[in-house]
Amino acid sequence: MVFDNLIIRARSLSKSYGSEDVLTDFNIDIWYGSIFGILGVSGSGKTTALRLLAGFENPDQGTIEMHNKVIFDEKTNVPPEKRKIGMVFQDYALFPHLTVEKNIAFGLSKEEIKNGRLDEVISMTNLSSYRKKFPQDISGGQQQRVALARALAPKPEVVLLDEPFTSLDAQMARDLREEVVSLLRATKTTGIIVTHDQEEALSVCDIVSVLENGKVIQSATPQEIYLNPISQTVANSVGDPNIIKGISTNGRVKTSLGTFNSAYDGELDVSIRPECIEVNLDSNGDYVVKECIFYGHDQVISFENKNGEIFRARSLPSMIFEPGDIVCIDVTEVTTFPSKN
């Protein structure tokens, strides 16, 4: 997908509560019409970032622009109700005293309702049979739909979604995720999804920003993030790689899983994803299978080298391994980072 217009540009945002810095020098560029993911562990500042964009809290420093117009800096502060940014809250925050229908109509003017916007949104989100019900009487998945419908109704240009699927069971989350994304795409609404779930971020978003300790450490397409993480933290946050220490000389690094090319010389961390290691039964092999966990669509094999180091590989389910099997390996791809220490 090609995006050519920036809708939100945030520069050097910082926010602290007391002595605790939640965001430091936070920068993002969000393309119009894209679905943007902010990925990070809890406490990394991702929810705070959303709240700053929505205007519920003010940054200590920095600027936020929307369509090249400043909505926050030292002089300007557009209040949340004027920003045209919709939000889907983690706990949905559906108004308990209003019906589904009235919740969705909440941000609409009388005229907009008369022109059929309410009915349009309700049918778009498949909520017609729940119109007169109260939020507490419908299921979690339906509540999520209502929250989204309410946010989309006033046709915001951007919708912020704060951990939108965490309170749903896995199957429901997957189904709704697709539904939400197609709704956002169909209405050409820019979506910003905050999540700690790597699968969610990678499968849904056009661009993913990985957040650590209040800083964006990498912003790129899901493929780029996954295949070329710029640091070990990024690599760890999208996958579960084997990390091996090594020393590189003349662009080659020797490790316990083989010798590889490297971009740097000196002390290195070599990151090898489990799915980039091919395991085969071989009585002359150097490794012994310790454990094999079968997941159905694949399996994870733990194996040990002669020094007792343990590594993980992921392979198709068809091959059968037992603990104690002698195996050989073939590494298809590695990433190297300068060692942290």
Partner 1 sequence: MPVIYMLWRFVNFSRSLSSFFQSWDVFGLLFNTISVFIAVVISSLIVGLLISIVTVRFEFAGSKILFTLCALPLVIPSYIGALTYISAFSPKGLFVQLFNSLGLEEIAGIDGFLGSWLVLTLFTYPYVQLICSSALRNLDSTVEDAARSLGVSQLKVYTNVVIPRLKKPIIYSGLLVGLYVISDFGAVSLMRYSTVTKAIYAYYEFSILGDPVIFYSSLLIVLALIISFVQRGSATSRSAKVSGTPRVPKKIKLERSGKMLTYSFLGFVIFLGLIIPISVLSFWLLRGIYYGNDVSSSLPGIFGSFSAAIVTSIFAIIISMPIVILISQYKSKFGDILEKLMLSLYGLPHIAVGVSILFISVKIFPGIYQSFFALVVSYLIVFLPQAIGGGQASMEQVKSTYIEASLGLGLSKVETFQKITFPLIYRGLFAGGALVFLSTMKELPQTLLLRPTEFNTMAVDVWSFASEALFTQAAFSAFILLAISAIPTYILSTRNLTV
Binding site for partner 1 (CB under 8 A): 54-56, 79-87, 89, 91, 93, 95-97, 106-107, 150-151, 153-154
Helix (H) or strand (E) holding 37: strand 35-39
| Shortest spacing between CB 54 and partner 1, in angstroms | 6
Helix (H, G, I), strand (E, B) or coil at 341: coil
Give the residue with the Cβ less far from partner 1, 132 or 254. Answer: 132
Nearer to partner 1, 7 or 272 (CB): 7
Q: In this complex, which beta carbon is closest to partner 1, that of residue 85 or of residue 210? A: 85
Decide whether 35 or 50 has the Cβ nearer to partner 1.
Answer: 50
Locus of tokens 């390996």: 329
Q: How far is the CB of 32 from partner 1 (least distance, A)?
A: 20
What would the 3-class secondary structure string for 195-257 be? Answer: ECCHHHHHHHCCEEEEEECCEEEEEECHHHHHHCCCCHHHHHHCCCCEEEEEEEECCEEEECC
Determine the Cα–Cα distance for residues 303 and 310; give it in Å rounded to an integer: 6
Q: How far is the CB of 81 from partner 1 (least distance, A)?
A: 5
146 or 277, CB closer to partner 1? 146
Residues 209/38, Cβ–Cβ less than 8 Å: yes
Output the smallest distance, CB 30 to partner 1, in A: 17
Q: How far is the CB of 198 from partner 1 (least distance, A)?
A: 26
| Least distance between partner 1 and beta carbon 204 (Å) | 22
- Quick one: 154 or 239, whose CB is closer to partner 1? 154
Residue whose CB is less far from partner 1, 108 or 301: 108
Beta-carbon contacts of residue 276 (< 8 Å; ≥ 6 apart):
331, 332, 333, 334
User: Is-contact 8 55, C-beta < 8 A?
Assistant: no
Q: What's the rounded Cα separation, in Å, for the pair 148 and 143?
A: 9
Residues in CB range of 256: below 8 A, 6 or more apart: 244, 305, 307, 309
Contact assessment for residue 311 and residue 302, using Cβ atoms and an 8 Å cutoff: yes
- CA distances to 29, 66, 79, 140 from 69, in Å: 14, 5, 14, 37
In whole angstroms, how close is the CB of 156 to partner 1 at the nearest point?
A: 8
Residue 177: both structure tokens together: 């995720």
Residues of 233-271 as b/e, b for ≥16 C-beta within 10 angstroms? bbbbbbbebbebebebeeeebebbbeebebeeeeebbbb
Residue with Cβ nearer partner 1 (27 or 90): 90
Distance CA 313, CA 281 (A): 13
Q: How far is the CB of 152 from partner 1 (least distance, A)?
A: 11
